[in-house]
Amino acid sequence: MKTAENFLSGQVLLIDKPLHWTSFQVVNKLRWAIKKAFNLKKIKVGHAGTLDPLATGLLVICTGKMTKQIDTFQAQTKEYTGTIVLGSTTPSYDLETKIDNTFSTQHITEGLIHETTKQFIGEIAQFPPIFSAIKKDGKRLYEFARAGKNVEIKSRNITINTFEITRIALPEVDFRVVCSKGTYIRSLAHDFGKALNSGGHLSVLQRTKIGDFDVNDSLSIEKFIKSLPSE
């Protein structure tokens, strides 16, 4: 059984983030549970890479002295699976906001879909979504977006090692992506739709791997809390 000293000296916890939770909420919940289980006044807890509320999957959580390794884990290659819906766009590039434009998909063939993925392999310039937590002038971009303000966003270079299409059932396209730190899969979905002359947005996203860490080895929040000593 884990002890207070284990968590203070440093643990790496693999958690399967549920839908609609923010990464921050998961960290707060685990910190509260660890403090309660061991009667601790304080303990450092952090995550290695944010997942959007509408995404599920692997969150690497570090406690105690292992929080010093967060930057190392964040820099590792990540793998995602999910679904892109072609023929429509949303301002947030996912289902956080409502559809704002629709487009024809009649011209889209399976061959065109597979061929278009090749444009996104390797190092590419990507614009983050306006609905993101990136800071500009001391404010989060999503704050500008929700206020209806236009703001200039700079592109950033990211690397996509793999962009594999795993199912086509138009307007839905399932994918698997292996990519570098800083990649926005929502932006990839948006840009992929644009490259198909159609528009697209993300409807499902799961992070499956960070470096050697795998979602198949992760615990739900409930299972982790049940593993802690109770009074």
> Catalytic pick from 16, 52, 94, 191?
52
**For this structure, is 94 an active site residue?**
no
3-state secondary structure of 6: helix
What does the alpha-carbon distance between residue 191 and residue 26 come to, in Å, rounded to a whole number?
30
Specify which residues 57 forms β-bridges with: 17, 207
Cβ atoms of residues 95 and 179 within 8 Å: no
Cα separations in angstroms, 230 against 28, 45, 141: 19, 20, 41
What does the alpha-carbon distance between residue 198 and residue 86 come to, in Å, rounded to a whole number?
7
What does the alpha-carbon distance between residue 58 and residue 81 come to, in Å, rounded to a whole number?
11
Enumerate the active-site residues: 52
